[in-house]
Amino acid sequence: MYRRPHMFTSYASEAKILSSTTQRVAMAVGLTVLVLMPFDLPVINQLPFIRFLGDSDWLRPVSTVLVFVIAAIGLNILAGVAGQVSLGHGFFMGVGAYSAAFLGGDATATVYGHGLPIWIWLPGAGVGAALVGMLIAPIAVRLRGLYLAIVTLGLVFIGIHLGNTDWGRRFAGDPGLGRDFPTLDIRLWKEENPLVSVSDDGQWLWFDAATNQKSYLVLLAIMLVMVLLAKNIVRSRTGRALQAIRDRDIAAEVMGIAEFRYKVIAFAISSFFAGVGGALFASLVGKLPASEWDLFLSVEFVAILLIGGLGSITGTIFGTIFVVLGPLLIEQATRWLDRQTESEGIFGILADTVLTEGPGDFGPVSTGTQSPGWPLNVFDWNVALYGVLIIVFLIFEPLGLYGIWLNIKSYFQRWPFSY
């Protein structure tokens, strides 16, 4: 039905993750393209909007998208499925990152570390963040709306402060530089030569692959597992209980749903995904100080949900791609437009109109690195874009990019009819 993607005629069809043949074929084709994207293959080179993402300069941002999808799904389960507001997602990502560093990092004279393999430190990062979330949940779930948001907001500043204390430095490292995080190498235990080397270029399985290509494939596999886990949680008994609490908590409790217990479970699940995402993000970057797990990071995930579509895993993926890759695409477009300023034609006129290089120009976008006022540089425009898009989507399309996708899909399903 029009704009009713979750209406089915049987319980069996509703329980399916991919309910139609079209979805299953599209998923198979999409996964094939994602796996082959980093490699220079003829079939991939013929896809103009896909191939450039597999270049070495773009694989790192694309890998960041995979990591942020995992963390954003955790916030989506808490805010979109359970209806609980949180501005402290960056705090739980930091807890996961330093749990991974404690378990899998190398110990030095200044920091803790046990050098355990990834199959221990990655789940341990999620469990560590989930335990902290369960400790905080009994206080947080007694609050609603703005009060709950303020409590979770305070966690971000508490986490940054703890990371800069003498005790916190044993986990977080130097306040200015951070510490080394464990790599994505796959080991059975603590052997010197890993079973599968990800942090070095060279032969991998039956082909040659660079470090960024290996990291991308490992993160893609982990992301797919976490997405599948989230989809099953949402359609499980627990997921249905969380949705009932979101829609009408009093009615859900009258029906026999233990509101307090399920809200604690929602915080634990959300924190687990955030911890895994934070550990992978820290491993991907290599070094991060405690100040990086700040309020802006938490707001970035709120923007992902509101732009992509609150309550939808597909929308969460859309929003993550838009928020992470959008600023880079705008930056690249601005650089390309800057090179057209000396040319004649429509692009030269557009560049002279949009860009400014000094006080004599009147364009809204500055090509300089510093922008204390008007005009704004590219970075400031990207920051402002978050706020503008959140307002626009909340007013005109509450379902975000997922809602736009539903409109497009419904149009072709109804075509050539208008009803």
Half-sphere exposure of 318 (CA within 13 A, CB side): 19
**352 and 404 in a common domain:** yes
| Alpha-helical runs (H) found in 141-210 | 145-163, 166-172
Residue 4 confidence (pLDDT) above 70: no
Q: Quick check: is 10 in a domain?
A: no
Q: What is the pLDDT of residues 186-225, one digit of tens each?
A: 999 988 888 888 988 877 766 778 899 999 999 999 999 9
Which residue did the predictor score with more confidence, 322 or 355?
Answer: 322
Report the pLDDT value the prediction gives residue 188, as an integer from 0 to 100: 92
pLDDT given at position 331: 82
- Whether the per-residue pLDDT at 353 is higher than 80: the answer is no
pLDDT-derived band at 372, boundaries 50, 70, 90: low
Q: Which residue has the tokens 């934070």?
A: 278
Tell me the one-letter amino acid at 183: T
pLDDT in tens, 138-156: 888 888 878 888 889 999 9
Amino acid 233 reads: I
- Please indicate, yes or no, whether residues 181 and 244 belong to a single structural domain of this protein: yes
Same domain (yes/no): 308, 268: no
Domain boundary among 293, 324, 348: 293
> In this structure, are 265 and 188 located in the same domain?
yes
Co-location of 259 and 310 in the same domain: no
In the sheet with 376-377, reading across from the earlier edge strand, the strands are 355-356, 365-366, 376-377
User: Do 289 and 312 sit in the same domain of this protein?
Assistant: no
pLDDT of residue 283: 96
**Last residue within a domain, chosen from 254, 270, 293:** 293
247 shares a domain with 223? yes
Within this chain, do residues 222 and 151 fall inside the same structural domain, yes or no? yes
Higher pLDDT, residue 308 or 388: 308
> How is residue 352 written in tokens?
């002279």
- Please report whether residue 38 resides in a domain: no
**More confident position, 402 or 387:** 402
Whether residue 237 lies inside any domain: the answer is: yes
Instruction: Return the pLDDT at 47.
Output: 75
Highest mean pLDDT among 52-56, 243-247, 356-360, 390-394: 243-247
The pLDDT tens digits for 27-77 are 999 999 898 888 877 777 777 767 677 777 889 999 999 999 999 999 999
**Residue 4, phi-psi category: left (phi > 0), alpha (psi -120 to 50), beta (remainder):** beta
How far from each other are the two terminal CA atoms of the chain, in whole angstroms?
10
Is 201 domain-assigned? yes
Whether 8 is covered by a domain: the verdict is no
Q: Which two tokens stand for residue 276?
A: 């895994």
Same domain? For 259 and 348 the reply is: no
Residues 6+ positions from 101 with CB-CB distance below 8 Å: 111, 112, 113, 171, 172, 179, 181, 182, 282
Domain shared by 215 and 316, yes or no? no
Of 263, 293, 323, the domain-final residue: 293
- With a pLDDT cut of 90, the percent of the chain lying above it is 49
Residues 267, 317, single domain; the answer is: no
pLDDT tens string 154-179 = 999 999 999 989 899 999 999 888 99
Residue 11 lies in a domain: no
Q: Are residues 403 and 260 part of one domain?
A: no
If one counts every other C-beta atom within 10 angstroms of the C-beta of residue 40, the result is 10
The model's pTM is 0.92
Confidence category of residue 388, pLDDT binned at 50, 70, 90: confident
The pLDDT of 270-279, averaged and rounded, is: 97
Which residues constitute the domain of residue 413? 294-419
Whether 333 is in a domain gets the answer yes
Work out how many domains the chain is built from and give that number. 2
Domain assignment of residue 246, yes or no: yes
